[in-house]
Amino acid sequence: MRWWPLLLAMGCAPRHAYPGGGDLEDQLEREVVALQQKTRMLETALETCGEGETKMYAAIHQIFAGSEVIVDKHGRYTIITLPADYAFGSEMTLRSEARMAFDLLALVLKENPDVDVSITGHTETRMLNAAELERFGDLWGLGFFMASSLRNVLVEEFSIPARRFVVGSAGGGRPVSDNDTEHGQRANRRLVVTLDEPARAP
């Protein structure tokens, strides 16, 4: 359990608790404030979800509001489309800004334990360089790595049971834009997270 945000929020963390001084403390405090603001927005979203929406959809829509992430509702499915650049940095490591959003997404998933999660990695169509070929093998492998990385974060860091996930890759086989421009390639390089929310009795 990550107890430091609670301690900071309560004013219980002593100044000498972090070797190296105030930089880390300031960063932690900023993250606590951001999470508190997001939590308040989630509570508001749950109270005001519109007709045809579910509380889960409203909460997830609020988590990613104002970002490049697209959240759609199709029947019982909530579909989250995340640009790869939103989730990953240059070395294919998860970005800290995305990690905070995934922290909140994990809270929603914990509140909805009967929801199954499918994650599919999509890539642009291009030649991999030598390092990428050695690391991923091909575009399918790159897409699978992206999807698995997100699944691993939700399982290992946020304790969502692994049995709830199905992970796959489409490689470059399902483009949503052309691959002739940088903009089109960026649009094709994405993660699609599908949440299967079973019907609930009225």
CA angle 156, 161, 165 (to 5 degrees): 100
Helix (H) or strand (E) holding 96: helix 96-111
Instruction: Please tell me the predicted confidence (pLDDT) of residue 11.
Output: 43
Instruction: Please tell me the predicted confidence (pLDDT) of residue 117.
Output: 97
Give yes or no for a contact between 118 and 193, defined as CB atoms under 8 angstroms apart.
yes
Residue with tokens 């880390």: 24
What are the b/e assignments for 87-103, b being 16+ CB within 10 Å? Answer: bbeeeeebeeebeebbb
pLDDT band at 138 (very low <50, low <70, confident <90, very high): very high
Long-range contacts from 56-64, C-beta under 8 angstroms, 24+ separation:
56/108, 56/111, 56/112, 56/115, 56/195, 56/197, 57/197, 59/108, 60/105, 60/108, 60/195, 62/38, 63/38, 63/101, 63/104, 63/105, 63/108, 64/101
The reported pTM is: 0.72
With CA atoms as reference, report the closest residue to 113 among 196, 40, 10. Answer: 196
pLDDT at 162 over 50: yes
pLDDT at 41 over 60: no
Instruction: Please tell me the predicted confidence (pLDDT) of residue 154.
Output: 93
pLDDT at 108 over 90: yes
